Amino acid sequence: MIGAGGLGSPALTYLAAAGVGTLTVIDDDAVSLSNLQRQTLHMTDAVGQPKAQSAAAQIAAINPHVRVDGRAERLAPDNAESLLSGHDVIMDGSDNFETRRLAADVAERLETPLVTGAIQRFDGSVTVFAPFRNDEDGKPLPRYRDLYPDLPAPGTVPTCAEAGVLGALAGVIGSLMATEAIKLVTGAGEPLFGRLLLYDALSTRFETMRYGRRA
């Protein structure tokens, strides 16, 4: 799990409760008081602690049979492959496009499915990438860059900390991310390949946008 914040908190909680055998938590940030309204994996007494450490402790309390590897590191080009290799599913709950694209590129090279979510203010989204697989028609599934071909200019898209976010929204999207990961691990259902699930909390509306492989 990349990020033990708003999305990582509910996702990790439900994966731990489900008994997922091993969870790796990657986050170089520390818990702050302002995080607690949406990052429910962290308690008040964890303020100031590394999020990876706090998350690992809470996961152990939820399910002591789950092995947790807390990595207080920032995902970067020089460590991404070593941090993400050896996993059945990669989950991205980061809050910036650069990290999301890096995670997607590395996941594609490692041929590992990627569940990615995003939230801001009252809106959220989740989708799944596995571009090394084919769809039912034998065509390659889309890449991250097919959905997001260009990075936004620096400073044009505010982070959750800058724009604000409804705390409960993180719970909705993080729970959906956990659901997608469980589907991938168990082979149940239809993962969100080529489908971007959008949620508008103000209107309580879900929509699905389909996207495909670009030439």
Dihedral sign from CA coordinates of 83, 87, 90, 94: negative
Residues carrying an active site annotation: 160
Residue-level length of the chain: 215
Distance CA 80, CA 32 (A): 25
Exposure letters 201-212 (e unless 16+ CB within 10 A, then b): beeeeeeeeeee
pTM of the model: 0.94
Using CA atoms, how far apart are residues 27 and 107, in angstroms rounded to an integer?
A: 17
Q: What's the pLDDT score for residue 154?
A: 77
Q: Which residues of 103-132 are buried (b: 16+ CB within 10 A; e: fewer)?
A: bbbbbbebebbbbbbbbbeebbbbbbbbbe
* CATH no. of 8-210: 3.40.50.720
> According to the model, what pLDDT value does residue 157 have?
76
Which 3 state secondary structure label does DSSP give 80?
helix
A 10 A CB-CB count for 145 gives 16
- pLDDT at position 151: 84
Which stretches in the chain have pLDDT values below 70? Answer: 161
Q: What pLDDT was estimated at residue 215?
A: 72
Q: Given this model, what pLDDT does residue 178 score? A: 99
Whole-number CA gyration radius for the chain: 16
